[in-house]
Structure formats: structure tokens, C-alpha cells
Amino acid sequence: MDFISQAAQTMHRITLRPETGLATLTTNDGSEHTLPLGPPAKGERINIVRFSYDLRRNLAEIDTTDGRSMEIEMPRPGQEPPIGGRPVVYLDQCHWSALSNQLYGPEAVPEKDRAAAEKIINMAVNGEIIIPFSAGHFLETSALYGAKRVNLASTMIRLSRGWRMRHPVRIRMSEIREVLTSKASGVRKPDETPVFTLEATALFQDPIEPQISPGDLIALSHMIEQVSTTQAHYDVLLDPDRVESRRGSEWEDHLRGISRDVEWRDLSKDRRRKASGGLALADVIHEVIRVVSVSRIDLTPEAVTEILINSLADMPFVGLYADVLNSRLSKFEAKWEANDLVDMLFLTSAAAYADVVVGEKVATNYLNEAWAGRTGACPVVRTLKDAADRL
């Protein structure tokens, strides 16, 4: 038996040391085997000096270049993430910043918010709640730099403990696939892909096709992928360098134009709501095409369109997105900014599946308005105190 096969069966720990470009596999008998991962690129900053995954405890330890140590949960191949009934709390970026201030500069946190921030931090550290991060958080964190960014990134890593929200594009693909396959077959087949997960590749917009490896290498390949991808994500998140952001897009210009259009304003509320559903589905046309192709759904384009229009209420995220779009477009003079797209995608998908979502004032208002008619109270609240009161 070669050392890789042996390691796959008896491995105890995987340790990455990015500065050396090496991975060390430690087996149960204490023997070590080294795998080259490649040296860092010339001039590349290293923000994590050690990433060590303990398979017995199913935890990873992270040591940063500035001396911080953190611990996160890791996934096991083929197993569902152990949410175990814990409430999932999704935070808008401004509330992540409040928790970071509570940890690294409490004087910046208003007195009235400190108790709630401390409660949420303690519950996250103790594993009583799950606070996932998302690709949206990565995008918004990239606008920061220096100590503020490193503190915020450290807070996200420490309190999320490895939990992520699947990318909204993939969430709505799952909803579309479930609706179309169920209608095509006549049998309801729930899509069991978890929205909140420990899988490192869940952050990606495009699904990562699993690499097929022979025999014992399947588990080893999966673990190496999870470890290296997670380490890379956190290294980017912790990088203190400024990233130039691109502001403005055709997306907000298009929707601003619709809301200002005289004909749109003259539509009845019912017609605007139906039209907003059509706009929401137009946003997902590429995902619909991919789902129909990959899942080999034998339906005409007309049938697919009709099914989706009539099934908005059966798709938690897509349906809520359509209602949020209607809510915003019905406020004719509302401002439309580039960052609204991040809120529309990430806060709305979180609201469709999380137990509590903490947003800023504007997003909280339109999500609560769009929630009307749904079962139960809207999970979106405006302050950390409101969130703490629900936990």
C-alpha cells in the first residue's frame, strides 16, 4: 500500500504551511508524509502561517501572521452539516462591523447595543447559534484595508466557525430545478442541497464538479480540497491591502429607469406585481437554461415559463426576490445604487431560509413589506438587540 492510500485510511491531521508551499499528512501512528502544494507566487502576501485540520475532532486551527489563533468546524465527505436545530443568524455587513468593534474597539459601539452584541458573540463562540458568512461579505470586506479589515475578517472567521451561505445563484438554481423536475415528472422531489453549510466551495457562483479519484483517494481528495480552499478564502479575507472597487453597473440603471417610467407608474398594483415577477424570472434566465439542459427536462420553453410564473410561491428565494423587486420598484423615487444588488441577492436569500436576518434600515423595510402574506413573522430585524431578543 502506498503512503497516500495509507494516509487516506488512517489520517489524523492535515496541516498546511502556505509559506513553505507544503502540506503535511499525519497518520494515527504519528508518521508524517509531506505533499508539495506549490510555493506562493512572487510578492504574494501570506496572512495564514498554519492551517491544521484535526480529523478526530473535525475542527481546524488557524494561526495568522499577526499572532491570532482561531478554530472552525470542517465538513466530512458525504455527510450533511450538523446544524442540529441551532438558529441561523445572517448579518448584514454593518452588523458584522458592530461585532468586530465589540471585540476590538468596544468604545465605538453605542452603550445600548453592547449587551446584545456580547450575547450574540458568546452564543456564536459557544456553538449555540450559526452565523454564516457569504460571498457578499467577501465582496464588501474587500473595500476595507489595514487593521479595520483584519479585525473584521478575524471576527467573521471566529464567529462563523466555518459556516457559509451557499451562493444565491446556486440557491435559486436549486429552487428552479425542484419546481421544474417535480412538474415534469409529476412527483415532488425536494432538493436537499443545504443553504447553510461547511462546504468550502459553497461560496462559488458556479458549482464545482467533483474530481473523480480512484478508491481511497476520493476521501483524501475531498479533504485536501476543503482545507486548501478554506485556507485560501480566509487568507484573502485577512489581507490588509486596499482593493480598488468598481462602482456602478447597468443593473441599477435599468431598474431605476423602470421605476421612473410613466407607463410603469400608471400600472395598477396587481399588474406591477405580476410584471415584477416577470422581471425576477428574466434575471434567472441563464440558470433556467442550465437547469433544463443539465437535468434533461423535457418541456417546451413556453411550458417552462408558465410553470415558473405559476410557482413563484413555491420558490422561497425566487418568490421573495420578486416581491422585494416589486416593493422597491413601487417606490418610484427610491435611490438605486450598485450595492443594492448585493442586498437584493444575499439578504433576500438569507431571509428565505435563515431564522434571523439583521439588516440596515432600508433593506429591513422593503423585506418586511415584501414578506406580507407569508406564514410566520418576517425574520428580518434592524438591530442586534432585536436579533438577541429573538434568540
Residue 83 to residue 6: CA distance in whole angstroms: 31
C-alpha cell at 62: 488557524
Task: For residue range 156-200, list pLDDT tens digits in order.
Answer: 999 999 999 999 999 999 999 999 988 877 777 777 789 999 988
For range 2-24, the mean pLDDT: 72
- pLDDT at 76 exceeding the cut of 90: no
Task: For residue range 206-246, list pLDDT tens digits in order.
Answer: 765 545 444 555 566 677 778 888 888 899 899 888 877 66
Q: How confident is the model at residue 3 (pLDDT cuts 50, 70, 90)?
A: very low
Closest C-alpha to 273, from 205, 372, 358: 372
Residue 170 to residue 286: CA distance in whole angstroms: 12
pLDDT of residue 4: 44
For range 353-379, the mean pLDDT: 93
pLDDT of residue 86: 94
Computed over every residue of the chain, the mean pLDDT equals 86
- pLDDT at 379 exceeding the cut of 60: yes
pLDDT of residue 27: 81
pLDDT of residue 2: 44
For range 291-297, the mean pLDDT: 85
DSSP strand pairing (69-73 vs 89-91):
unpaired
- pLDDT at 107 exceeding the cut of 60: yes
Residue 216 to residue 218: CA distance in whole angstroms: 6
C-alpha cell at 111: 452603550
pLDDT of residue 208: 55
Residue 38 to residue 282: CA distance in whole angstroms: 43
Mark out the alpha helices in 269-360 (DSSP H runs). Answer: 269-283, 285-294, 301-310, 316-329, 340-342, 348-353
Mark out the alpha helices in 105-145 (DSSP H runs). Answer: 111-125, 135-141
pLDDT of residue 350: 97
For range 298-308, the mean pLDDT: 88
How much of the chain exceeds pLDDT 70, in percent? 91
SS3 302: helix
For range 286-294, the mean pLDDT: 86
Under DSSP, the state recorded for 355 is S
**β-sheet bridge partners, residue 358:** 91, 381
Q: How confident is the model at residue 139 (pLDDT cuts 50, 70, 90)?
A: confident
For range 137-149, the mean pLDDT: 89
Q: How confident is the model at residue 385 (pLDDT cuts 50, 70, 90)?
A: very high
Residue in this structure with the C-alpha cell 509559506, named with its chain if needed: 19
For range 250-264, the mean pLDDT: 85
What's the whole-model pTM score?
A: 0.90
13: left (phi over 0), alpha (psi -120 to 50) or beta: beta
- pLDDT at 281 exceeding the cut of 70: yes
Residues 6+ apart with CB under 8 A from 184: 297, 298, 299
